[in-house]
Amino acid sequence: MNWVVAVDLGGTMIKGALVNERGETLAVQEQPTQTFKGRDYVLEERLLPFIEGLIETGSREGLRARSIGLAVASPLNPWEGILYNPPNFPGWGVFPLLSYLRERLSMEIHMDNDANLFALGEWLWGAGEEKSPLVGLTLGTGIGGGVVYDHGRLWHGAHGTGGELGHITIDMDGPPCNCGNKGCLEAMASATALVRWVEGYLREGRASTLSLGANAQDIALAAQQGDPLALEGFKWIGRNLGVGLASLANTFDPQLMVLGGGLSRAGMLLLSPALEEFRRRALPLQRDSIKVKLASLGKMGGVLGAAILAFSKEGNPGKEGGRL
Amino acid sequence: MNWVVAVDLGGTMIKGALVNERGETLAVQEQPTQTFKGRDYVLEERLLPFIEGLIETGSREGLRARSIGLAVASPLNPWEGILYNPPNFPGWGVFPLLSYLRERLSMEIHMDNDANLFALGEWLWGAGEEKSPLVGLTLGTGIGGGVVYDHGRLWHGAHGTGGELGHITIDMDGPPCNCGNKGCLEAMASATALVRWVEGYLREGRASTLSLGANAQDIALAAQQGDPLALEGFKWIGRNLGVGLASLANTFDPQLMVLGGGLSRAGMLLLSPALEEFRRRALPLQRDSIKVKLASLGKMGGVLGAAILAFSKEGNPGKEGGRL
């Protein structure tokens, strides 16, 4: 059995594991990224030791790990491994992460955007059932997107940064987005958008069991316990999400759309208003034929997608007979 | 030199020509479709005689036309040639046009959506310069879309109806669209949207050289002559178009976006506000690297795309060395 080292470098946490061709994991681990300490610290004290630790574990266990797959929470050029001003890593600028790592590691390494690899992970080993095209969305602090087509290829576009599905406009005069635009899906259907929406009403004095400082998880809990403001908040972001899903369905005509990220753990609280709006808006063929599902790999989607990337670059399909 | 019969079946006109592998045309012709006379009439009295006429012209000229390419203004399954309730052909329902034609014609025939084939035509022989990915929009009564990727492949999605780019939402509470949704790009940036917008203000008594019943061409002419209402109308649809272009740029990260269809003949009147809004909204990498151009094949984009389709199905590249 072949193994790879697979790592997901996020703005908050670094996650990783040793992964084999069946998607089985060993030595799953997680550490804070501590981006506030700056680029050199994150690279030298966090990322490199994290990867080296996994390589060593692999050797100790006698596993033949031959390459590394890396998911990064950044717009990037996947062919050259260059990060483009990652909002989650302030001050990194345009940074050639791949060549930095290649100079320091003894193993071949490949990288891609974390939402792309989330989509790839779910496609092969998660809720995706190898259906293609598949549209994946990670609903968290922001919204990331990935498109799998032709049975395992990732849509990169001309410059490597395609699939920025959080930055489709759903309301051209809507609330401002971190990207500088207005009314992006990310500004209206992310965890951050939900928290802001609830905060706005709390400041206006709306009755609720919630108080200022509540995060998306608190809001989900309050909604499950019947808090009217929290329930209304989920209806609002759910509806917005449904508008985005309809646009993506009409654009890509996928077989399947998979929703992951922290906010997706709210389950039907989010999915039910989203599906209602999606069905109201999508073109008839798309409405009747496209499935929308919750992700099934939890926090491991990016790590497992990174493993699939590494296997595919070895010319080694991630699954018997699968073409990647 | 090889030739094909290429035809573009629109809701208003049928266009066609004999086309060779260099994109040169012979016997270009155009006829009203007369959809109001119903499906049987259009098929038996219009489309079939039109195609047969081109085949005969080909034989008479001694050209070796071996197959037919057909562009159809309808959502369709391109593999089986089934039209799905075409809004432009009322009452046709779900209709197996390809098998209908195959039973009646002696020549191999292939079909695809007209906006897809517009994009393909512009990609190879028009403004597209064989850049890929390429996003094409036809701005007319409605808005059609096509995406060319991997140097000549068309994005069809899972059910054949992908690339319905006129039906991305840009304003979730915006004006109603023919598709049943609200605030679609088509409802806010098509010729129909422009006419409706101007009519609304004319009814309110706004001063203008235009009067009720003016079409998009009249409005463009009035704008060129300085009519303030007409100018404002083009700023409005131009801005809306720019919102859509930014969403599509962030989604596909194409090399190039090409704008065709009747409304695109307004040129800078439309393009200048569209580009301004596009640049304000697209993500920095997309904004700085993606070109937006006007189509260069005029009304012949769909016909030429249909020819490329037919050549590619013959296993015959449309251009020396090109892979289709």
Q: How many CB atoms lie within 10 A of CB A159?
A: 18
Which of B250, B256, B283 to mutate: most A Cβ within 10 Å? B250
Examine residue B176 and say whether the peptide bond preceding it is cis (omega within 30 degrees of 0).
Answer: no
Q: Which residues of chain A have pLDDT under 50?
A: 317-324
Which of B149, B172, B185 to mutate: most A Cβ within 10 Å? B172
Residue type, B65: A
- Residues A246, B161: C-beta atoms closer than 8 Å: no
pLDDT on residue B87: 86
Mean pLDDT of chain A: 95
pLDDT > 70 fraction of chain B, expressed in percent and rounded: 97
Please determine, for residue B318, whether its predicted confidence score (pLDDT) is greater than 80: no
- Residues B284, A85: C-beta atoms closer than 8 Å: yes
pLDDT on residue B323: 38
Which of B132, B251, B287 to mutate: most A Cβ within 10 Å? B251
What six digits make up the tokens of A236?
């609002």
pLDDT on residue B320: 37
ipTM, two decimals, is 0.94
pLDDT on residue A319: 41
Task: Please list every residue in chain B whose beta carbon sits closer than 8 Å to the beta carbon of residue A180.
Answer: 281
Minimal CA separation from A61 to chain B, in Å: 42
pLDDT on residue A314: 81
The mean pLDDT value for B52-73 works out to 95
pLDDT on residue B42: 97
- Residues B171, A173: C-beta atoms closer than 8 Å: yes
Spatial contact of A294 and A259, defined as CB atoms under 8 Å apart: yes
Nearest residue in A to B153, CA atom: A150
- Residues A156, B253: C-beta atoms closer than 8 Å: yes
Which residues on neighbouring strands pair with residue B257, listed in sequence order? B135, B292
pLDDT tens track for A258-309: 999 999 999 999 999 999 999 999 999 999 999 999 999 999 999 999 999 9
Nearest residue in B to A177, CA atom: B281
Rounded Cα–Cα distance for residues B139 and B131 (Å): 21
Buried/exposed code over A210-232 (b: 16+ C-beta within 10 A; e: otherwise): beeebebebbbbbbeeebebbbe
pLDDT > 90 fraction of chain B, expressed in percent and rounded: 94
User: Looking up tokens 């304000």, which residue turns up?
Assistant: B280
Nearest residue in B to A282, CA atom: B181
- Out of A133, A162, A283, the one facing B252 most closely (by C-beta) is A162
> Which of A292, A219, A302, A216 has its CA nearest to residue A256?
A292
pLDDT tens track for A61-76: 999 898 999 999 999 9
Nearest residue in A to B162, CA atom: A253
Spatial contact of B146 and B119, defined as CB atoms under 8 Å apart: yes
The mean pLDDT value for B93-115 works out to 96
Does the model's pTM come out above 0.90?
Answer: yes
pLDDT tens track for B239-281: 999 999 999 999 999 999 999 999 999 999 999 999 999 999 9
Runs of H (alpha helix) within chain B: 39-41, 48-61, 97-104, 114-125, 185-189, 191-203, 216-224, 228-252, 268-281, 284-289, 301-313
- Residues A283, B161: C-beta atoms closer than 8 Å: yes
Rounded Cα–Cα distance for residues A184 and A166 (Å): 7
Which of A113, A153, A179, A253 to mutate: most B Cβ within 10 Å? A253
- Out of A75, A246, A254, the one facing B181 most closely (by C-beta) is A246
- Residues A252, B162: C-beta atoms closer than 8 Å: yes
pLDDT on residue B314: 81
Size of interface A-B (CB pairs under 8 A): 137
Mean pLDDT of chain B: 95
Please determine, for residue B193, whether its predicted confidence score (pLDDT) is greater than 50: yes
pLDDT tens track for A240-261: 999 999 999 999 999 999 999 9
pLDDT tens track for B115-143: 999 999 999 999 999 999 999 999 999 99
Buried/exposed code over B30-57 (b: 16+ C-beta within 10 A; e: otherwise): eeebebeeebeebbeebbeebbeebbeb
Please determine, for residue B295, whether its predicted confidence score (pLDDT) is greater than 90: yes
Minimal CA separation from B237 to chain A, in Å: 13
Domains of chain A with bracketed CATH: 3-114+299-313 (3.30.420.40), 129-296 (3.30.420.40)
Task: Please list every residue in chain A whose beta carbon sits closer than 8 Å to the beta carbon of residue B243.
Answer: 169, 172
- Residues B168, A171: C-beta atoms closer than 8 Å: no
pLDDT > 90 fraction of chain A, expressed in percent and rounded: 94
Task: Please list every residue in chain B whose beta carbon sits closer than 8 Å to the beta carbon of residue A160.
Answer: 253
pLDDT tens track for B229-241: 999 999 999 999 9
The mean pLDDT value for B317-321 works out to 40
Spatial contact of B27 and B54, defined as CB atoms under 8 Å apart: yes
pLDDT on residue A101: 98
pLDDT on residue A320: 38
Nearest residue in B to A184, CA atom: B247
Pairing of strands A256-260, A291-294: parallel
- Out of B168, B171, B243, the one facing A251 most closely (by C-beta) is B168
- Out of B159, B169, B253, the one facing A158 most closely (by C-beta) is B253
pLDDT on residue A227: 98
Which of B247, B255, B290 to mutate: most A Cβ within 10 Å? B247
